[in-house]
Amino acid sequence: METFLQQIINGLVLGSMYALVALGYTMVYGIINLINFAHGEILMAGALTSWTVVTLLADAGLPGWALMVIALMCAVAVCTFLNFAIEKIAYRPLRNAPRLAPLITAMGMSLLLQTLAMIVWKPNPKPFPLLLPTEPFNLGGPVITVTQVLILVLTV
């Protein structure tokens, strides 16, 4: 039973992350009627931006939660700018074009963002520093970490 409950917690956390990405896809499709293949790359740019901010401020002596908030604000700003620029430059001019043109443009934006990210951040793995406590909470068998609780709370 303990393993079953642990897997329920793990499934809820992983499903919450998938749900947030799916919500983003749904919102974009609902607004611009286009499957934005660059959506994942926008998320990647936000993650790499937050990694850069955390790495640069690692020696500033700030607590982990403060680093996380600063990195989140920077990532939101970068993602907002990217989304605005892509919509204005690539998608808006093709609003009345045949359905295939915006679709191909979306794939092109995806490849462009991937390539730019490899140029800026290099195509190497980047370990994200641990910013929150790693000690799990024991729930009488199954365990849950602060990060998992934060994911669940933010998803709700």
48-107 pLDDT, tens digit per residue, is 999 999 999 988 889 989 999 999 999 999 999 999 999 899 988 988 888 888 889 999
Q: What is the pLDDT of residue 29?
A: 84
Only one residue has tokens 């919102």, namely: 27
Q: Give the pLDDT of residue 61.
A: 87
Look-up: residue for tokens 């793995």?
Answer: 125
- pLDDT score recorded for residue 37: 87
Average pLDDT over residues 109-121: 96
Please tell me the predicted confidence (pLDDT) of residue 17: 92
Cα–Cα–Cα angle for 25, 26, 31, rounded to 5 degrees: 100
Helices (H), 38-122: 39-56, 64-86, 100-121
pLDDT in tens, 8-40: 999 999 999 999 988 988 888 888 788 888 889
Q: Are 144 and 136 in contact (CB under 8 A)?
A: yes
- Which residues neighbour 130 within 8 Å (Cβ) at sequence distance 6 or greater? 64
Question: With contact defined as beta carbons under 8 Å apart, do 28 and 39 qualify?
Answer: yes
Q: Check: CB of residue 129 under 8 Å from CB of residue 58.
A: yes
Report the distance separating Cα 151 and Cα 156, nearest Å.
9
Q: With cut-offs at 50, 70 and 90, classify the pLDDT of residue 140.
A: confident
Full-model pTM: 0.84
Integer Cα distance of 134 and 146 in angstroms:
7
Give residue 36's pLDDT: 84
Q: Which of 140, 146, 144 is nearest to 11 (CA)?
A: 144
Residue labelled with tokens 């933010």: 154
Q: Tell whether the torsion through CA atoms of 20, 22, 25 and 27 is positive or negative.
A: negative
Neighbours of 42 (CB within 10 A): 21
